Amino acid sequence: MTETRLEITELGHRGDGIAITDTGPVYVAGGLPGETLEAKVQNGRAQNPAYLTQSPDRIEPVCRHYAACGGCSVQHLAEGPYLSWKRSLVEKALKTQGIDADVTQTIAATKGGRRRAVFTATRAGRAVLLGYHEKASHKLVDVSECPVLDPTITSALKGLKSLAADLVPKKGELRITVLSTTSGLDVAFEKADKAYDRKIPALSQKTVELDLARLSVNGEVLLEVRPPLLDMGGTGLVPPPGGFTQATHAAEEALSELVAAGVGKAKTVADLFSGVGTFALRLARSGNVHAVEGDSAAIAALDRSLRKPQGLKKVTFEKRDLFRRPLVPEELEPFAAVVFDPPRAGAQAQAEMLAKSKVKTIVAISCNPATLARDLRILIDGGYALHSVTPVDQFHFSPHIEAVAVLKRE
């Protein structure tokens, strides 16, 4: 296999540099636009690259685990070009659907670090490893630091490994979801050894010693020292164990401000794929909101938060699988605005119903530019005008990007 000279011309959607050759694109892990290198090419990927020139945008990674860990892909790119690349991911996805939109500058929403992290733990002989998988591998990187995390999570890594040692199965992997809340860490273990119940006293003692707010194992709350509270725009909420929340508090605030601005003065709003009510509880400060969500635990958490007087307008909620049973035009008629924030798969069925509705304003939030673009195409074809698209970066150093789009029926 001979060496090939490559010139990287762009950064791909997964964070790899891309060099165009006569035989097609070659992907260079860790490569940046403007760099030249020599490498052997195998299956379209550069092997053991030797750099001849380097980009002025290249910087030193901030984490000692970066070379192996699969959690981050672009720590080596300077902040300005990095945010521009994130913006380009949204622009390119829209163009694939024939949407020529003026995408605004990316909002950097990573301040304070990620408050929600998902770790993996496994056995390695007598030792227990806790961390993230290596790049393109099932091997686990045993992390001692993680610069993208909230410092309260990083400082708890040693204690979390101690808990994991009591729960990791003899074979397979243990999943740990950690959420930093206003009252402490909320820790949920999944796929734990089934014999964990005989260790409950020891696990409870460790929970107290580590000053965790709550410990859950395989869906069972073992000990709640304090309710793990989140502040949803002035409304307190206790999320379900291991449940979905926005990754950073800064991003939650940025997204909420964009959603509120998009909804404007609408007095009746439907919040679809509402989760625990991240947007619904904030929007209810100024209008009536109907929240629709398919996850029972998320709806139950929203219900509990509404049982205390919060100074909100009327909030109603409904458990419903919007993939199978989207709200139809007749059900959408009472609402002046609709907000939807689906999982990565997007909201195609619901977008098709919205395209047939008379709703004046739609605000779409997505963590997947490809499915967002598809859903926007449906709405535009249904007569909506795309007013704005704003990328929000809460997944620092990763190829993931959030975006908020506002549409109006003219």
Q: Which residues are catalytic?
A: 367
Residue type, 217: V
Burial class (CB in 10 A: 0-12, 13-18, 19+), 105: exposed
Compute how many other C-beta atoms are within 10 angstroms of the C-beta atom of residue 244: 16
> What are the DSSP calls for 174-235, one per residue?
EEEEEEEETTEEEEEEES--GGGGGGHHHHHHHHHHTT-SEEEETTEEEEESS---EEETTE
Name the phi and psi angles at 175, rounded to 5: -110, 130
Long-range contacts of 127-130 (CB under 8 A, 24+ apart): 128/161, 128/164, 128/165, 128/168, 130/157, 130/160, 130/161, 130/164, 130/176
Contact 388, 348 (CB under 8 A): no
C-alpha to C-alpha distance for 286 and 311, rounded to whole angstroms: 10
Contact 26, 44 (CB under 8 A): yes
Residues 88, 160 contacting (CB under 8 angstroms): no
Is residue 391 within 8 Å of 401, Cβ to Cβ? yes
Residues 148, 153, 159: CA angle, nearest 5 degrees:
135
